[in-house]
Amino acid sequence: MQSKYPAGRLPDPPSPIADDGDETHFCGTCAFSSACIAAGYHKPELAALQCLVEHVGPFRAGEHIFRTGDPFRAIFAVRSGTVKTRMVDKEGREQVLGFYLPGEVIGLNAIYPEHFPCDAVALDTTFFCRFSFPAMSALASRVPAVQQHLFRMLSKELGTASLLAGDHSADERVAAFLLDLASRYAARGFSATRFHLSMSRGDIANYLRLAAETVSRVLSRFRAQKLISIEGRELELLNPGRLREIGQTLLRE
């Protein structure tokens, strides 16, 4: 949970505002950076992006960004930290829908119902860019690159949602989960072989539709086979190739 800038620069929110740009260019890791690049930063329409974005945070571990049933007004791009989304049925059982890393966007599944269908909970200290959705839609009408980017983000999330659906063994699920995290960290410029698991074993298990004990056993077995090194939540992938073999049916199919 460290900023990539020297810690001394930021006094109070002590660490984690990740890789941010200046007022003109926003975050290098921002979920919308590719839209801006496609449209050209200089375009006057993009000045509107600066007006409709709002930096919010910090949220501490366990705090809600939004709750099931809240009216939908905005989507949130994670700037730093990690978020889980989840549904809680009326018996109180939790169902983890996904984990979101810096540069990723939460709230897209609320457009249609117009209310958030799930909770979003910070797993560690977390900051966001908040985009008013009505303003975003209006901007999308004027700037095709923004519209296209929204379509693509929605469509992309459709693809990932169908991944977990298959019936796969515990080993396949865990291997694919670790590799998925690795590639998402890598896409944002972080290490693809060493990273911190912000979520508990229970959250991982819930997300993968396994019992926490099973996740623990699989991780222990992977460690015994020298595929990974794991101590608490600090993870290193020692043999990504073999992990990819194990998880591959789940990774592309």
Partner DNA sequence: GGCGGCAATTGACCCGGATCAAGGCACGCC
Partner DNA sequence: GGCGTGCCTTGATCCGGGTCAATTGCCGCC
Give the integer Cα–Cα distance in Å for 108 and 172.
28
Q: In DSSP terms, which residues pair with 126 in a beta bridge?
A: 59
- How many residues lie near its own copies (CB under 8 A)? 42
- Judged by CB under 8 A, does residue 151 bind its own copies? yes
Q: Mask 26-65, x = binds its own copies (CB under 8 A)?
A: ----------------------------------------
For the chain, how are helix, strand and coil distributed in percent, rounded to 5? 40, 20, 40
- Judged by CB under 8 A, does residue 191 bind its own copies? no
Give the strand pairing for 194-196 and 126-132: unpaired
Q: In DSSP terms, which residues pair with 229 in a beta bridge?
A: 236
CB of 187 to its own copies, least distance (A): 14
Site for DNA in 188-217 (CB under 7 A): 200-202, 209-217
- Judged by CB under 8 A, does residue 92 bind its own copies? no
Residue 219 near which of its own copies, DNA, none (CB within 5-8 Å, type-dependent): DNA
Residue 212 near which of its own copies, DNA, none (CB within 5-8 Å, type-dependent): DNA
| Phi/psi at 161 (5° precision) | -65, -30
Asked whether the beta carbons of 75 and 105 are under 8 A apart, the reply is yes
Give the integer Cα–Cα distance in Å for 52 and 89.
34
- How many residues lie near DNA (CB under 7 A)? 21
- Judged by CB under 7 A, does residue 233 bind DNA? yes
Asked whether the beta carbons of 77 and 86 are under 8 A apart, the reply is no
Residue 171 near which of its own copies, DNA, none (CB within 5-8 Å, type-dependent): DNA
Choosing from 3, 132, 148, 169, the residue that interacts with DNA (CB under 7 A) is 169
Residue 9 near which of DNA, its own copies, none (CB within 5-8 Å, type-dependent): none
- Judged by CB under 8 A, does residue 252 bind its own copies? yes
Give the integer Cα–Cα distance in Å for 208 and 137.
34
Helical (H) or strand (E) element with 96: strand 94-100
Give the integer Cα–Cα distance in Å for 30 and 12.
23
Give the integer Cα–Cα distance in Å for 178 and 67.
27
- Judged by CB under 8 A, does residue 91 bind its own copies? yes
User: What is the DSSP code string of 63-79?
Assistant: -EEE-TTPBP-EEEEEE
Report the residue number, 138 or 238, with the smaller CB distance to its own copies.
Answer: 138
Residues within the interface to its own copies (CB under 8 A): 87-89, 91, 93, 95, 97, 108-113, 117, 137-138, 140-142, 144, 147-148, 150-159, 161-162, 164-167, 209, 249, 252-253
Residues within the interface to DNA (CB under 7 A): 167, 169-171, 200-202, 209-217, 219-220, 230, 232-233
